[in-house]
Every structure is written in structure tokens, then in C-alpha cells.
Amino acid sequence: MNFGISLLKKASILLFLCLSLFGFRSENYQLEEALKIIKAIDRIKAESLRERESKPRKIVITEGELNSYIAYRLETEKEEITREIRLKLDEDNRIDGKIVINLKNQEIPKFLKPEMNFYFRAKLEVENGKVRLDIKKLFLENQPVPLLLLDLVIYISSKLEKTQASSINDWYELPYGIDQIETHSGWAAIYY
């Protein structure tokens, strides 16, 4: 799933939640952590092409590694609209997150601010090779807002970037080889 071109595709990193060595350190992420995730993704793809073992294999990634990977993707793909995505992983596939949107210098409806900080609480659902983020609570700054507002921002973003729009609630194919994702407090287990 490519998450760098539109807000919707970035949301797929939230859904992706999976799977990257240099000591470079940035203000927003640690490159070695991001590269660990990239390496894990490559490993899953390579091992999934081989004959399946009888028991599932597992890779563990930390919340810090995942956030570094997301920040790395946003920076290297020169994302202009989604400025930041931060996730807090919790037990039972619960996720809290922050998404920073920048629509400055864009033609947007007057009721939208050019810079928006969305906060959410959600549950990651995985079924039949697909994944989705079921958002339970959504806030714009500190005000509760309907999920429709985030879908509107995704729609506007997709039009600006000339990509296909959809909903944050849509189901997405899991990356090749991944069977299951389980989150825990501060880390996630990826089964393949």
C-alpha cells in the first residue's frame, strides 16, 4: 500500500501498521528505526515467496520504529498535505493517533482551517487478508468532530493530488505475506 501520495494513502500506513542502517538522527525520526521496518517488509516479502511453514512467523516492531518509519515516508516522499502522523499502540489492537494536515495555499472550503490537528482513538481490524481502522473517536484540536469531516479532508486532499478518494473506514489489502497484526502497549506483532 503506498501511503505517501495522498492523505488516504497515508492513512493506509495507519492501517498498514506493519512493516528499514545508518546512525543518522533527525528531529522527527531515527533513520535506523525506519530502516528496520523497511528491512522487515523486505524479509516478509522474501520469506512469503518461499514455501509456507506450518506455524506462522512473527516480527515485532516497536511504536517508536513505526513512528520513525511513518515520518521517514512522509519526508522522503515529500508529502505536502499530511505533515505528521504519530501513533500510540495499545492492547487489543487499540490505537491512538495524531494527524497534522496542512492545506495552506490550497483552495478549500471557508469552514476548514488551513492547518488542522486531528486526534483519534481507533481499533485496528484485520480479516480475510484485509485491514481497516475503525475510528471510535475523532477530535479536531480539542473539539469532537464527526468522522465525515476527516473523510471530507481526505476527499479534498485526493482532488488536490489527483488521486482516487475514499473513506478512512475502507478496508485495504494487507501487504503481501502478512496474515495478522496484533497491537500491544508500545509494540505490534506482525504474523506472516
Domain ranges of the chain: 7-191
Amino acid letter, 32? E
Per-residue pLDDT of the chain (192 residues; tens, 9 = 90+): 333 334 434 444 443 433 322 223 334 568 889 999 999 988 888 887 776 666 788 999 999 999 999 999 998 988 888 899 999 999 999 999 999 999 888 888 888 888 999 999 999 999 998 999 999 999 999 999 999 998 888 888 888 878 888 888 899 998 888 999 999 999 999 998
Give first-to-last CA distance, the chain, whole Å: 16
pTM score, whole prediction: 0.78
